[in-house]
Amino acid sequence: MKINSMKDLLINELRDLYGAEKQILKALPKMIKAATNAQLRSGFEKHLKETENQVTRLEQAFEKLGVSAKKKTCEGIKGIAEECEELISADPEAEILDAGLIEAAQKVEHYEMAGYGSVRTWARQLNLREVADLLQQTLEEEKATDKKLTELAESMVNQMAAAHT
Ligand SMILES: [Fe+2]
């Protein structure tokens, strides 16, 4: 698409995030299967449900903008997901893999936080309040997920991984 205005830039990035969420919907089940720690697994399961809602919110945002809900391949998330699959294929000890899965998940969250933060701010700048509110809701979920992952790593998972020498 041609990008001639800030609204075009917003739509272009929303399509990237729409692609990203759909790619995450495919990656998370693999991460759930690979995770050993029960809290990590249930955290991923919860985030899978949240991601379904995030897809719906983006569809609502496209509707409010009067454009079709088209997705782009998100090369950023594609790369992170490939690296995660590589880690799983390397078949480390379960506790070590859990620590690596948290890192991969946090890379995903940080990508999304950067994207949603910017599009939320652009939507506000363009006085698209309802679109901005939808994006803010998702941004808060991504931040909360990132925080939970840090807590899980620091309270438990990293110590268990470090026990393997
Ligand atoms: Fe997301």
- Tell me the pLDDT of the chain averaged across its residues: 97
% of the chain residues with pLDDT over 70: 100
Please tell me whether residue 128 adopts helix, strand or coil conformation.
coil
Please tell me whether residue 72 adopts helix, strand or coil conformation.
coil
How far is it, in rounded angstroms, from Cα 10 to Cα 35?
35
Tell me what pLDDT residue 1 has: 83
CA-CA-CA-CA torsion for 71, 53, 89, 147, nearest 10 degrees?
Answer: 120
pTM: predicted TM-score of the whole model, two decimal places: 0.96
**How does pLDDT run across 86-140, given as a tens digit for each residue?**
999 999 999 999 999 999 999 999 999 999 999 999 999 999 999 999 999 999 9
Could you tell me the distance, in angstroms and rounded to a whole number, from the CA of residue 116 to the centre of ligand 1? 9
Q: What is the mean pLDDT of residues 47-68?
A: 98
Could you tell me the distance, in angstroms and rounded to a whole number, from the CA of residue 60 to the centre of ligand 1? 15
Q: What is the mean pLDDT of residues 64-69?
A: 97
How far is it, in rounded angstroms, from Cα 45 to Cα 59?
22
State residue 119 phi and psi, 5-degree precision: -65, -35
* pLDDT higher than threshold 90 for residue 54: yes
Could you tell me the distance, in angstroms and rounded to a whole number, from the CA of residue 163 to the centre of ligand 1? 32
Could you tell me the distance, in angstroms and rounded to a whole number, from the CA of residue 133 to the centre of ligand 1? 15
Tell me what pLDDT residue 53 has: 98
Q: What is the mean pLDDT of residues 3-14?
A: 98
* pLDDT higher than threshold 80 for residue 165: no
